[in-house]
Structure 1
Amino acid sequence: MKTKVIIRADGGPQIGLGHLVRCSALAHMLKDDFSISFFCKEIPENLQDEFQQNGYFVVIIDHEDQFFSQISGESIVVLDGYGFDTDYQQRIKVSGARLVCIDSIHDRGFLADLIISHAPGITSDDYKAQPYTRFALGIKYALLRPSFLEQVNKTRILTKIENVFICFGGADPLNITEKVLQVISGIERFKKIIVITGTEYSSMQKLRELTSKDSRIIHRSSLNEQEMFSAIHESDIAVVPASGILLEVLSVGLPAITGYYVTDQKKPALNFSKLGLAYNIGDFRADIKDDLIGILNSLTIGKAQKMVDIQKQNLKGSTYNIRNLFMDFK
């Protein structure tokens, strides 16, 4: 019988879908050797369907005791979210289960046996953990979905920079999508502008108005994994936040302009830039027009190709790295 991996994560309009997407990537890396279950208080219907089609159990819970009751000493429990404090973790540890926490903000104490953070620049010293805690830190432990993992080992040669990819998550409550689109659409040399939003995006009317005025703008909504991969793959450059979507962009091989709009993206944005993996524009909530235009106008094929080559070098081997850490628990 396969060892159970029990994943606790949520996703919706307020918190976005990043926790669920990266846990989906983790599940795929492990599914051949483990039985995968998701316990969620909030999950969009399309993601629930996708998870179930992939062979994962999905349980919708109303209160946490429904989750705790399913944990045994033979389980591996994965937590991905900001609400799982030390007391919550303690309830898992007393069961004898192994505990894995996916975290990039290190804002609380951890009782985890393993902490995973694929954001660059984070070290074990950033965490208040235990002597027994192991760490899987940096983009060599990137949690990438299958289509993107497959692309990591493929060479990409750029011949043009004409098609732009824009995505700020499924909800984008600050509507940074429109802000970036207004700038990009003012640059005539771009032939295609691909804009991705989700079902929770609330500024659809304004986006429709912009799309109706510019035939280059292609809006796509609520994409599954393969559709997202295709949208990125047909693009030549991306403007995205320093979150999970950036790692998917890097795996495909696109010069990227990144930044932050929440605190936990600020340090990763800086470190992605330091490593030569992306340009850091800073705070997306500020006036970014001049900086964005400046980066785009100065980007040559040579500079873009150098960035793509660095991306490919840094991302190799993530499935092997993650899987081995979980196999050590068996």
Structure 2
Amino acid sequence: MKKIIFRTLGGKGIGYGHFYRCLSLAKAIRSLDLNIHIIFITNDELVDLIYNNGFEYLVSNDLAEDDGLIENINPVLFIFDSYLGTDEYLNRIKEKTKLMLIDDNNNIYRSTIPDIIYNGNIFAEELRYREVKSQLRLLGPKYLIMKEEYWDNEANTLAKEGVLITTGGTDEYKIAVKILEEIKELDIKTKVVIGPGYRDDYIKKIEHFKTNNIELIYKPNSLKNHISSSKIVVTAGGSTIYEVLSQKSIPIIFSIADNQDLACRTLNNMGVEYLGKYPDIDYSKLAKVIEKLSFIDTEDMFISIFDIVNNNGAKLVAKNILENIIE
């Protein structure tokens, strides 16, 4: 049986986006070919998450250990999704097996190294990846890897109302509290997502804001129904933006990391409200923006933006991998 390795890291300090992207692609590959043996190499903070999804896994907190692990497994493909490697690391991996690099901004690694270069962001084709004759290039939102629950997107029958606030799996900068301070007086239904990496003392601070209008959603397995039923979603500029667009809800966005800046800038130029980048997020305008957006016709204003997302991008990426790499 041919083997594919997924190598990623995540947790409270790093976030969970890289892991969930890898998990979605792994599920897409498995849905198309049950004869592929998929193995994850992850750090110990991800063990509970990968264990609950039924994939084989190895635990390693040190990328330097990967050389030995690869030799023992002998994979046909190594899929890497992390900002913590180096070009030297990628070259060492490629000496042992075919390599796929899951990238975001074309600013960390030499993109000519991997056999497959992937970037599913809306700005990917503007990043001027150098063309390599033998390289498979999967660039742009056509190839966007979304979570499994968004595949084959069924018509949303949930009534849209109110605001959803999410900062991702963690909230190291206490952004949710600052947002709640600004909008707590609004007469609008509000839901706040408590991510899996939120610290207990911070959760208690958020709980002080709980009222009849403010509901807390504790560590949900999926955000889809919460996004689908919300007219407005206040979110960081990561993968959740695309989930919001896929459900035809209105995003209000902010950036908390360099890799989110380009997506925020691109969407802001298309008419999406942008609050700025931490530590300069402008919370003061949030209440007025929410009040304004609460009364607009969603379809008329955002129809061109909603059409950006390909919900089945994960399956398309998996199909390309199986057809072009797994011989």
**Where does residue 15 of structure 2 map in the other structure?**
16
2:106 equivalent to 1:91:
no
Question: 8 Å contact 2:42–2:60 — kept in the other structure?
Answer: yes
TM-superposed deviation, 1:271: 1.1
TM-superposed deviation, 1:313: 2.3
Distance 1:115 1:179 in 2: 38
Of 100-109 and 16-25, more deviation after overlay is shown by: 100-109
Aligned-residue identity in percent: 22
Question: 8 Å contact 2:100–2:116 — kept in the other structure?
Answer: yes
Distance 2:301 2:25 in 1: 26
TM-superposed deviation, 1:58: 1.5
CA distance 1:308–1:155, shift in 2 (3 Å): farther
CA distance 1:158–1:232, shift in 2 (3 Å): closer
What is the aligned residue count? 316
**Where does residue 314 of structure 1 map in the other structure?**
308
Question: 8 Å contact 2:231–2:294 — kept in the other structure?
Answer: no
**Where does residue 27 of structure 1 map in the other structure?**
26
CA distance 1:208–1:297, shift in 2 (3 Å): closer
CA distance 1:150–1:80, shift in 2 (3 Å): same
Amino acid at match of 1:279: E
Question: 8 Å contact 1:259–1:280 — kept in the other structure?
Answer: yes
**Where does residue 41 of structure 1 map in the other structure?**
43
Amino acid at match of 1:261: I
CA distance 1:205–1:293, shift in 2 (3 Å): same
TM-superposed deviation, 1:129: 7.0
TM-superposed deviation, 1:4: 1.7
Structure 2 gap segments, 5+ residues each: none
**Where does residue 203 of structure 1 map in the other structure?**
202
TM-superposed deviation, 1:284: 4.6
2:184 equivalent to 1:185:
yes
Question: Which of 192, 200, 218 does residue 215 from structure 2 map onto?
Answer: 218
Question: Which of 262, 265, 268 does residue 267 from structure 1 map onto?
Answer: 262
**Where does residue 102 of structure 2 map in the other structure?**
102
Distance 1:306 1:155 in 2: 18
Q: Deviation digits for residues 101-138 of structure 1, max 9, x if unmatched? A: 11112223131111211221123654467443332222
2:233 equivalent to 1:231:
no
Structure 1 gap segments, 5+ residues each: none
Question: 8 Å contact 2:6–2:41 — kept in the other structure?
Answer: yes
Distance 1:181 1:43 in 2: 29
Question: 8 Å contact 1:260–1:266 — kept in the other structure?
Answer: yes
Q: Deviation digits for residues 13-33 of structure 1, max 9, x if unmatched? A: 111111101111111111132
**Where does residue 66 of structure 2 map in the other structure?**
67
**Where does residue 174 of structure 1 map in the other structure?**
173
Question: 8 Å contact 1:124–1:135 — kept in the other structure?
Answer: no
Distance 2:230 2:15 in 1: 24
Amino acid at match of 1:194: V
TM-superposed deviation, 1:149: 1.8
User: TM-score, with normalisation over the residues of structure 1?
Assistant: 0.86
CA distance 1:219–1:310, shift in 2 (3 Å): same
SS of residue in 2 equivalent to 1:100: strand
TM-superposed deviation, 1:184: 2.6
Distance 2:257 2:27 in 1: 28
User: TM-score, with normalisation over the residues of structure 2?
Assistant: 0.86
Question: 8 Å contact 1:109–1:129 — kept in the other structure?
Answer: no
Distance 2:78 2:126 in 1: 21
Question: 8 Å contact 1:100–1:115 — kept in the other structure?
Answer: yes
SS of residue in 1 equivalent to 2:138: strand
Q: Which has the higher contact order (CA 8 A, sep 6+)?
A: 2
| Matching of residues 120-199 of structure 1 within 5 Å | 120-123=122-125, 125-127=127-129, 130-151=132-153, 154-156=154-156, 162-188=161-187, 190-199=188-197
Question: Which of 245, 248, 253 does residue 250 from structure 1 map onto?
Answer: 245
TM-superposed deviation, 1:178: 1.0
Question: 8 Å contact 1:170–1:199 — kept in the other structure?
Answer: yes
Question: 8 Å contact 2:5–2:75 — kept in the other structure?
Answer: no
Question: 8 Å contact 2:193–2:219 — kept in the other structure?
Answer: no
SS of residue in 1 equivalent to 2:52: helix
Question: Which of 255, 266, 280 does residue 274 from structure 2 map onto?
Answer: 280
Question: 8 Å contact 1:103–1:115 — kept in the other structure?
Answer: yes
